[in-house]
Amino acid sequence: MKARPWPLGFDLLFFTLFSILFSAQSQEPLKPDFGLPLLPPDGWENTSAKSWAKSLQLPIESETKYQSSYRSYFQNGFAVLGAKPKSIALTATEDHPDQLTIIFANKGDSANDALRSDATANASLRDIVDIKKTIQSDHKALEEGISSLLGKPSVQGFGDTGKAREFAQRWDLEETALLLIARPGEYCALRVLSGKSADKGGKVSRMTDTALRERMRNNVTRRDNGDLIIENIPMIAQGPKGFCVPATYTRVLLYAGVPADLYLLALMGRTGVGGGTSIQDMENGVRALATSYGRTISSVPSSLDLSKLENFFEKGIPLTWAMFVDEEIDGDLTVRLRSRTGATPESWSKTLEPKRKAARLIRKNPKNAHVCLLIGCNRKTGELATSDSWGPRFAERWITVEEARALSQGDLGAIVP
């Protein structure tokens, strides 16, 4: 039996309908507009952290052999989903992004200028109440904003135990998890990470003591001028607040293979509004966190004897150092670093002689209490290498032993495997 021919023009109509249907099915669904590129452009496996940071306009904060980070602080400016971020940070293993963290209202960056500039200032009840209200307000705005785009969240625990444990509202979009956390009186944070990492609660595999000791030793460099220096220590910039203690401990914990966050450590160390933390409070706060990854917080003799300190530096172990900043000397450390480069140990030692003599006249200023790292020494020139949590420009500077002793608070510590 002869088949019935198609009506005139049917082939064209069929082809057009098929094309429209195929096109609709093949198009990727539109991604929600967060106001910022909060999702890794090419997925978590294929995105370059450096490229993503560039699209976020985040300058580099730290780049070591193992880790990199990018960070910006904001005083006033744009809003993300109805709340104004105070800082944005992207962390990565080599060039593979691990986590994007946006910090909104918090007890550090949200404090008034007087508190941020003077760690000894006392926060008033009004300061504390205002910050708590702003944290609540930011959390509410973000919860409503994200829910309007992604629906209702689930709830999950994130991080370690005790104070390090965060309880987050979680939204999932493809392979990405968005975790919204509010710690009353502390901070409001939005953490963006892969769904796989979120499922693990943010925990990472523990590096064995043997592997960590070997890595630390490999980070030690000896220079022709006699410098013994530890390299590959992550930089964490504390920003416009008195968070030197939590920033410094974040650095040494990350260096020792322990996940750490600046704002979470400020909570654990009972840092005050605007800043101000005792080392003892910090050590008590993070001891359990360090122990859970097999690390120990150890005290160090406070004499600043080069031979004793060198034993730690040779093993690649940096030291936390409590001291008092002398503004004149601090400015000079940056200036003398340029003159130091290229000088012979003999000529440089002569240049430092007036600095050593002047150290006898140093008067400690209790208002300028500070914590930084000691990361090396030079026996030929009688110097110690310091590293401050003020950004990449302060990653390595050198101070004479005499100046260091005059400014020391007598408190040194180490995190060891």
Kindly report, residue by residue over 135-182, the tens digit of the pLDDT.
Answer: 999 999 999 999 999 999 999 999 887 888 999 999 999 999 999 999
Q: How high is the pLDDT of residue 1?
A: 37
Instruction: Choose the final residue of a domain: 199, 219, 234.
Output: 199
- What mean pLDDT do residues 56-80 have? 93
Structural domain including 89 reads: 43-199
The number of domains in the chain is: 2
Q: How high is the pLDDT of residue 335?
A: 94
193 and 112 fall within a common domain = yes
Residue in this structure with the two tokens 């401990």, named with its chain if needed:
249
Domain assignment present for 33? no
Domain assignment present for 12? no
Mean of per-residue pLDDT scores for the chain? 90
Domain assignment present for 31? no
Rounded distance between C-alpha atoms, residue 212 and residue 206, angstroms: 10
pLDDT band for position 18 (50/70/90)?
very low
- What mean pLDDT do residues 62-84 have? 92
pLDDT band for position 11 (50/70/90)?
very low
164 and 226 fall within a common domain = no
Reported as type and span, the H/E element at residue 350 is: helix 345-358
Total H helices, total E strands in the chain? 14, 16
Q: How high is the pLDDT of residue 289?
A: 92
N residues, the chain:
417
Kindly report, residue by residue over 93-118, the tens digit of the pLDDT.
Answer: 989 999 999 999 999 999 876 677 66
Domain assignment present for 67? yes
Rounded distance between C-alpha atoms, residue 397 and residue 217, angstroms: 21
Q: How high is the pLDDT of residue 16?
A: 40
- What mean pLDDT do residues 198-226 have? 94
Please report, rounded to a whole number, the percentage of residues in the chain having pLDDT higher than 90: 81
Domain assignment present for 262? yes
Domain assignment present for 26? no
Spatial CA neighbour of 49 closest among 68, 30, 32, 31 = 68
Reduce the secondary structure of 281-336 to three states and give it as a string: HHHHHHHHHHHHCCCEEEEECCCCCHHHHHHHHHCCCCEEEEEECCHHHHHHHHHH
Q: How high is the pLDDT of residue 23?
A: 44
Question: Phi and psi for 173 in degrees, rounded to 5?
Answer: -135, 110
pLDDT band for position 409 (50/70/90)?
very high
Question: C-alpha distances in angstroms, 178 versus 143, 155, 169, 344?
Answer: 11, 11, 8, 53
pTM: 0.89
pLDDT band for position 4 (50/70/90)?
very low
Domain assignment present for 101? yes
